[in-house]
């Protein structure tokens, strides 16, 4: 019994203990669950990621204008707050291109777009905005608010702020997507290329950011882009355009350079804006010249008239790819401008150098905006260019990359032979002496440097020198063949066989000194562009009556035509054609007879036609031409002066004899039967048609008709067309047969008159009346001529022309 009680007691105790223990265990489990939750709960993450989440030990950082961080294929900009709102220039260039993009005239280094940008913070984003200086106003004037409201700056991209740096002085943004996708605002493939080449899309799988490098004043991004295109410019079977784009972001100067007011009497490239701060009764359109910022180291000495070095000279670095034998000529082409800048008071203002080696400066890069360059481009294009980048706020030129195409010297060799070979024995070869080739290259570079300094073409400068002076050795050695290197006056084609000591190649001239002095000389004691105008006007008016210092470039002005030399187009072209006839006769001996193939003969014959066409065009420009002499009211004389009647009639007679009469010397069978099976008369006919179209052009005839109002001695348009008709149809007044070339020309004449009859603008002027009268007269003349004793084809030809005239006079 005791055992049973004891057992029960023990059992009871155990049960109770277990029960208590279970109860305790339940409580313990609850407690443990609570503790477990506390132990396993993750700490709360900060809403804003840390700087260290993006910039790690493995991150590659390039310090410069902004810090650029690279994590594998991700790029971040660390933008200092102090640069938010600062104006920068974004320049989009083509760094490497497929063959034949843009027809061969777009090259590696070509600028596609330039725009002022600002980085601005908005809430938790950084906005990239494009800022325009087309419309401006002083920010302290009430109208400034209206200018801002009516010229809202477009946002081209919005970036999320990823984080801030440790001391919160800069923000991090990821620029990967911006630079790796097809953002139209910075595209290197403009819309007209996309349309021409039928571009469908950017292929993201074949496009990427090649590199981003940060320099003290700029950041350079290189993008490798591949587009799907149905009609690419080359490698058509790939349906692909691949190109390498360079995006330069440049910090603009904190204090813009003081601008200089543009004056169209002196040639400069310009920037412009509309100023709503003007006190005039309208918004004031203003233009300022583009130029480098040259400031004297010693301003007091400069103001005393001493030659002073600039604080920052203009330095060009030669492309390491430049052939060694050409480097000295390129350098000379730059350094030649040193004497010109001395006229403006600066010594050692401009120079060319070879770039430093990697050992001398491992950070040097031709893409760095701090360095200007002369690029040597491996391209079959025959050209050279002198582009530059300027501050749109002031016109200050910040950087320049002159481009030289490899094949360009071949053009100069060919033209040297064709234009000077008659009078210049050393040009009568395909192997032009190195020193002469070098001199040509030197002058091409000098011309392109002129563009990079802000100077446009000045086609009036070649008209400054008397034609016969170009046959003088003393004159040409001293003065060259035009008053500026900025004209297209490449060679002396006027000099004749037997003329002695002639300079045949262009050089810098007095206009270059004058223009650089006008644009770059620092005027003392002025604080605004407007205060300079009185002095600038004085400099122009001191030279106002001297043709050497005249600037011109209008297409209607025969004294400002491309490729011409001398102040008498008829005389200059007569000399030129006389020389060309000698060259044409000797062309096989100077080419194919030396090389034992006809490639050079074919090429040079085609270019000979072009040279002849240019000489012809200079004379054609006289007819209906109007001289333009830019002046201010303080100067005497008219601005627009039509070419005299005598010069126009002389020019037309020259054209009838040297162009519209069949030029058998250009149809030399000793050349033609070696280079092509057909197309001879077609080629010559194109040049005849071109000049015919210029004479029978609505604008030409309109100027001739209106000359009656401002000129007593004018050449009536009706007389010109009548004289042209009589000359072109001279066979119709005799029993002469009409040769093949003339038959083509006569058809073209009637076709051109038909175009004028259908021109709506011409129907409200005397032009349609004159044309109708001339066609009626010609119809009667051809009808009579077709009955004379002439060959069969001439008869058929006349009858065909009569039908053509009837269709024009009575289209029904």
Q: What is the pTM of this model?
A: 0.86
Burial class (CB in 10 A: 0-12, 13-18, 19+), 571: middle
Helix (H) / strand (E) element for 108: namely none
- pLDDT tens-digit map of 539-568: 999 998 899 999 997 789 999 999 999 999
Comparing C-alpha atoms, which of 751, 760, 729, 733 is closest to residue 742?
A: 729
In angstroms, the Cα distances linking 436 to 270, 325, 326, 504, 580 are 35, 13, 12, 10, 21
Give the closest residue to 611 by CA, choosing from 547, 528, 687, 535: 687
How far is it, in rounded angstroms, from Cα 356 to Cα 712?
Answer: 66
> Are the CB atoms for 407 and 444 separated by under 8 Å?
no
The owner of tokens 């066409």 is 613
Please give the pLDDT value at position 347: 97
Kindly state the average pLDDT of the residues 126-135.
81
For residue 380, pLDDT over 80 is answered with: no
In the predicted structure, residue 187 carries a pLDDT above the cut 60:
yes
The answer on pLDDT for 167 being more than 90 is: yes
- Write down the domain spans for the chain: 1-38, 56-251, 591-812
- What mean pLDDT comes out for the span 637-659? 96
Reduced to 3 states (helix: H, G, I; strand: E, B; else coil), residue 760 is coil
Q: Residue 408 has what pLDDT?
A: 78
Q: What is the pLDDT of residue 134?
A: 58
| pLDDT grade for 45, boundaries at 50, 70 and 90 | low
State the pLDDT confidence band at 678, using cuts at 50, 70 and 90.
confident
Cβ neighbours of residue 599 under 8 Å, at least 6 residues apart? Answer: none
Convert 103-133 to b/e letters by CB count within 10 Å (16 or more is b). Answer: eeebbbbbbbeebbbbbeeeeeebbbbeeeb
Q: What is the arithmetic mean of pLDDT over 174-203? A: 89
∠ CA 743-749-751, rounded to 5°: 105
Residue range 462-476: mean pLDDT, rounded: 97
Confidence (pLDDT) at 156:
92
Name the pLDDT band for 140 (thresholds 50, 70, 90).
low
Angle CA 85–91–94, to nearest 5: 155
Angle at 180 between CA 179 and CA 185, to 5 degrees: 50
What does the alpha-carbon distance between residue 536 and residue 526 come to, in Å, rounded to a whole number?
12
Residue 4 has pLDDT above 60, yes or no: no
Strand 396-405, strand 372-377: pairing: parallel
Average pLDDT of 57-76? 94
Cα of 351 vs its chain's centroid, Å: 23
Q: Which uninterrupted H or E stretch holds 209?
A: strand 208-214
Percent of the chain with pLDDT over 70: 88
According to the model, what pLDDT value does residue 107 have? 63
pLDDT above 60: residue 143: no
What is the share, in percent, of the chain residues with pLDDT greater than 90?
68
- Cross-strand pairs, 374: 318, 402
Q: What is the pLDDT of residues 293-316, one digit of tens each?
A: 999 999 999 999 999 999 999 999
Cβ neighbours for 39, distance < 8 A, ≥ 6 positions apart: none
pLDDT above 80: residue 46: no
What number of other Cβ atoms are within 10 A of residue 567's Cβ?
18
Q: How many helices (H) and strands (E) does the chain have?
A: 23, 24
Average pLDDT over residues 50-58: 93
Encode 47-81: b = buried (16+ Cβ within 10 Å), e = exposed: eeeebeebbeeeeeebebbbbbbbeeeebbbbbee
Average pLDDT score over residue span 186-210: 88
Position 384 scores a pLDDT of 73
Over residues 191-196, mean pLDDT? 85
Provide mean pLDDT across the span 353-369.
Answer: 85
- pLDDT category, 2, cuts 50, 70, 90? very low
The answer to whether 548 and 391 are in contact (CB under 8 A) is no
CA torsion 228-231-236-240 (nearest 10°) is -10
pLDDT average, residue stretch 657-685:
90
Flag whether pLDDT at 33 surpasses 60. no
| Measured distance CA(688)–CA(112) in Å, rounded | 37
Q: Are 224 and 208 in contact (CB under 8 A)?
A: yes
pLDDT surpasses 50 at 199:
yes
Burial of 201 from C-beta contacts in 10 A (0-12 / 13-18 / 19+): exposed
pLDDT grade, residue 762 (50/70/90)? confident
**pLDDT value, residue 300:** 96
Q: Of 89-103, 377-391, 708-722, which gets the smallest average pLDDT?
A: 377-391
For residue 763 the two structure tokens come to 């129907």
Whether pLDDT at 611 is above 70: yes
Q: Is the pLDDT of residue 427 over 90?
A: yes
How far is C-alpha 210 from the chain's CA centre? 27
* Position 135 pLDDT exceeds 70: no
CB atoms closer than 10 angstroms to residue 707? 24
**Predicted confidence (pLDDT) at residue 514 exceeds the cutoff of 50:** yes
* Nearest alpha carbon to residue 205 among 227, 230, 232: 227
CA distances to 750, 788, 789, 796, 806 from 792, in Å: 21, 11, 9, 6, 22
- Local confidence band at 677 (pLDDT 50, 70, 90 cut-offs): confident
Mean pLDDT of 618-627: 96
Residue 16, pLDDT score: 41
pLDDT of residue 24: 42
Of 385-389, 463-467, 513-517, the one with minimum mean pLDDT is: 385-389
The pLDDT value recorded for residue 29 is 42
How many angstroms separate the first and last alpha carbons of the chain?
A: 146
Asked whether residue 767 carries a pLDDT value surpassing 70, the answer given is: yes
Over residues 472-483, mean pLDDT? 97
Residue 192 or 645, more confident: 645
- Say yes or no to pLDDT of 518 above 90: yes
* CB atoms near residue 342 (< 10 Å): 16
Joined together, the tokens standing for residue 1 give 């019994």
Cβ partners under 8 Å of residue 219, min gap 6: 64, 65, 66, 68, 77, 212, 213, 248, 249
**Phi/psi-derived region of residue 85, left when phi > 0, alpha when psi is between -120 and 50, beta in every other case:** left
Q: How confident is the model at residue 63 (pLDDT cuts 50, 70, 90)?
A: very high
Distance CA(692)–CA(681), nearest Å, equals 16
Best CA proximity match to 110, nearest among 351, 375, 411: 375
**Does 161 score more than 80 pLDDT?**
yes
Band the pLDDT of 613: cuts 50, 70, 90: very high
Tell whether the model's pLDDT for residue 796 goes beyond 90.
Answer: yes
Banded model confidence at residue 42, pLDDT cuts 50, 70, 90: low
Identify the helix (H) or strand (E) that includes residue 61.
strand 60-62
Name the average pLDDT for the chain.
88
Mean pLDDT of 395-421: 88
Nearest in space to 367 (alpha carbons), one of 770, 95, 714, 705: 95
Give the mean model confidence (pLDDT) for residues 499-524.
97
Res. 768 pLDDT band, cuts 50 70 90: very high
């Amino acid at each position: 019994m005791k055992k049973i009680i004891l057992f029960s007691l023990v059992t009871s105790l155990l049960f109770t203990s277990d029960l208590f223990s279970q109860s305790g265990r339940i409580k313990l489990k609850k407690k443990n669950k609570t503790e477990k939750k506390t132990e396993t709960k993750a700490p709360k993450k900060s809403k804003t990621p840390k700087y260290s989440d993006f910039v790690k030990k493995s991150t590659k950082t390039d310090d410069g204008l902004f810090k650029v961080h690279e994590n594998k294929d991700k790029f971040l900009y660390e933008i200092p707050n102090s640069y938010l709102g600062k104006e920068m220039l974004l320049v989009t260039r083509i760094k490497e291109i497929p063959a034949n993009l843009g027809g061969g005239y777009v090259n590696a280094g070509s600028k596609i777009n330039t725009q002022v940008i600002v980085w601005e913070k908005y809430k938790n984003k950084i906005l990239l905005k494009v800022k325009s200086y087309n419309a401006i106003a002083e920010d302290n004037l009430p109208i400034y608010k209206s200018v801002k409201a009516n010229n809202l700056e477009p946002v081209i991209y919005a970036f999320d702020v990823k984080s801030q740096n440790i001391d919160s002085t800069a923000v991090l943004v990821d620029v990967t997507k911006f630079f790796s996708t097809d953002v139209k605002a910075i595209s290197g493939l403009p819309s007209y290329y996309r349309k021409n080449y039928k571009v469908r899309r950017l292929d993201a799988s074949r496009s990427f950011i090649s590199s981003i490098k940060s320099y003290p004043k700029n950041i350079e991004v290189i993008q490798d882009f591949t587009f799907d295109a149905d009609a690419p410019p080359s490698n058509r079977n790939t349906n692909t355009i691949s190109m390498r784009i360079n995006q330069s972001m440049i910090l603009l100067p904190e204090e813009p350079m003081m601008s200089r007011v543009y004056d169209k009497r002196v040639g400069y490239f310009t920037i412009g804006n509309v100023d709503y701060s003007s006190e005039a009764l309208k918004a004031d359109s203003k233009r300022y010249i583009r130029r480098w910022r040259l400031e004297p180291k010693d301003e007091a000495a400069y103001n005393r008239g001493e030659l002073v070095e600039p604080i920052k000279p203009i330095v060009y670095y030669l492309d390491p790819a430049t052939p060694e034998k050409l480097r000295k000529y390129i350098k000379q082409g730059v350094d030649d401008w040193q004497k010109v800048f001395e006229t403006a008071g600066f010594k050692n203002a401009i120079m060319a150098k070879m770039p430093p080696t990697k050992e001398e400066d491992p950070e040097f890069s031709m893409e760095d905006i701090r360095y200007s360059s002369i690029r040597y481009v491996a391209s079959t294009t025959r050209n050279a260019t002198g582009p530059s980048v300027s501050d749109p706020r002031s016109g200050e030129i910040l950087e320049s990359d002159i481009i030289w195409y490899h094949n360009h010297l071949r053009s100069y060799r060919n033209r040297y032979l064709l234009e000077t070979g008659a009078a210049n024995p050393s040009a009568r070869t395909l192997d032009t002496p190195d020193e002469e080739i070098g001199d040509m290259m030197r002058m091409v570079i000098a011309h392109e440097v002129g563009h990079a300094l802000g100077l446009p073409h000045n086609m009036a400068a070649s008209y400054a020198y008397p034609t016969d002076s170009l046959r003088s050795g003393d004159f040409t050695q001293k003065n060259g063949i035009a008053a500026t290197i900025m004209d297209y006056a490449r060679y002396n084609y006027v000099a004749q066989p037997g003329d002695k000591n002639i300079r045949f190649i262009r050089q810098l001239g007095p206009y270059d000194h004058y223009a650089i002095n006008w644009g770059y000389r620092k005027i003392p004691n002025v604080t605004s562009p407007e205060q300079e105008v009185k002095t600038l006007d004085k400099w122009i008016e001191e030279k106002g009556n001297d043709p050497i210092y005249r600037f011109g470039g209008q297409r209607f002005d025969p004294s400002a035509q491309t490729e011409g030399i001398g102040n008498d187009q008829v005389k200059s072209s007569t000399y030129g054609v006389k020389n060309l006839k000698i060259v044409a006769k000797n062309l096989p001996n100077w080419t194919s007879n030396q090389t034992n193939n006809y490639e050079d003969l074919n090429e040079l014959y085609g270019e000979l036609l072009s040279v002849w066409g240019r000489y012809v065009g200079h004379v054609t420009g006289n007819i209906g031409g109007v001289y333009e002499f830019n002046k201010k009211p303080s100067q005497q004389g008219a601005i627009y002066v039509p070419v005299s009647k005598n010069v126009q009639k002389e020019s037309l007679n020259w054209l009838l004899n040297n162009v519209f009469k069949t030029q058998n010397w250009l149809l030399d069978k000793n050349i033609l039967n070696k280079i092509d099976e057909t197309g001879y008369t077609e080629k010559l006919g194109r040049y005849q048609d071109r000049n015919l179209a210029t004479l029978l052009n609505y604008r030409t005839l309109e100027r001739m008709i209106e000359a009656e109002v401002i000129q007593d001695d004018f050449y009536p348009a009706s007389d010109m067309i009548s004289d042209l008709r009589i000359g072109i149809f001279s066979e119709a007044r005799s029993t002469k047969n009409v040769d093949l070339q003339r038959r083509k020309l006569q058809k073209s004449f009637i076709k051109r008159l038909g175009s004028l009859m259908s021109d709506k603008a011409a129907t409200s002027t005397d032009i349609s009346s004159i044309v109708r009268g001339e066609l009626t007269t010609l119809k009667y003349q051809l009808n009579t001529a077709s009955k004379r004793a002439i060959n069969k084809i001439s008869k058929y030809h006349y009858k065909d022309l009569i039908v053509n005239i009837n269709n024009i006079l009575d289209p029904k």
